Copies of this chain bind each other. A is one copy, B any other.
Amino acid sequence: MQPEETKVDTEERIIMAALVVFARKGKDGARMQEIANEAGINKAMLHYYFRSKDKLYEAVFRHVFTRFSAQHATAVKESPTFAKTLKLFINGFIDSIKEKPDIVRLMVNENLSGGTALGNMIVEKQHEKAPPSILKRKLEQAIKNGEIRPVDPDHTLLTILSCCLFFFIWAPTIHIKIPKSKDWDAFIESRKEHIFDMVYNGLQPQ
């Protein structure tokens, strides 16, 4: 095997393993040994590839933002009607979270610890082409068209994001309180429909 490929593969494996652990325990709570185990490699390798724990954490963040914000973007396509756009956004957004829920958990940890260092990255990377920005523009447009009633776009977008993200964050409690969520895939599908139903209906003129 070529050294180049090996390096890329190992780096990727480490970052993915680190994402899992950082997401569960936070930056300070995470243990390098645990990350090494998760990656199926030696603890010393972590320091060989990423000098320190801090650098590794930063690398994970950078990777998450560049790689997955692009993947996100493809999930949301422009559509003729607002209803269609909304449905595509909700489905695409939830699907991409479902695939890598640890990304949300990482972001939550960062928000909880008030991470200002990487807060800057949020500003940099969540640009005009990001799905939330697209949806916000579509919202403003639909209000002008009279397609939906006049609402605050910021609050509305925040409401939609809340509905799509919160149940991933709160999952263990939900499993206890809502028995039918034990079938997680089915629950997610029903959740998609509920969110669209509630939001779209909530945006209709009275």
Chain A residues within 8 Å of B, Cβ to Cβ: 23-31, 105, 107-116, 119, 122-123, 126, 151-152, 154-156, 158-159, 161-163, 165-167, 169-174, 176-178, 180, 190-191, 194-195, 197-199, 201-204, 206
Q: Are B26 and A25 neighbours in the complex by a CB distance under 8 Å?
A: yes
A29-B24 CB under 8 A given contacts A176-B119, A198-B202, A199-B202:
no
Q: Are A112 and B151 neighbours in the complex by a CB distance under 8 Å?
A: no
Interface residues of A, dominant DSSP: helix
Closest to A168 in B: B111
Q: Are B23 and A112 neighbours in the complex by a CB distance under 8 Å?
A: yes
A163: which of B159, B174, B190, B191 is its contact (CB, 8 Å)? B159
Contacts of A107 in B (CB 8 A): 173
**Most interface-central of A109, A110, A190 (chain B CB within 10 A):** A109
A201-B199 CB under 8 A given contacts A26-B26, A163-B159, A194-B152:
no
Contacts of A122 in B (CB 8 A): 173, 176-177
20 other A-B residue contacts (CB within 8 Å) besides A28-B30, A105-B112: A24-B113, A25-B26, A25-B113, A26-B112, A29-B113, A111-B169, A112-B169, A115-B172, A119-B172, A122-B177, A126-B177, A151-B194, A152-B190, A156-B198, A161-B166, A161-B170, A162-B163, A166-B166, A197-B202, A202-B202
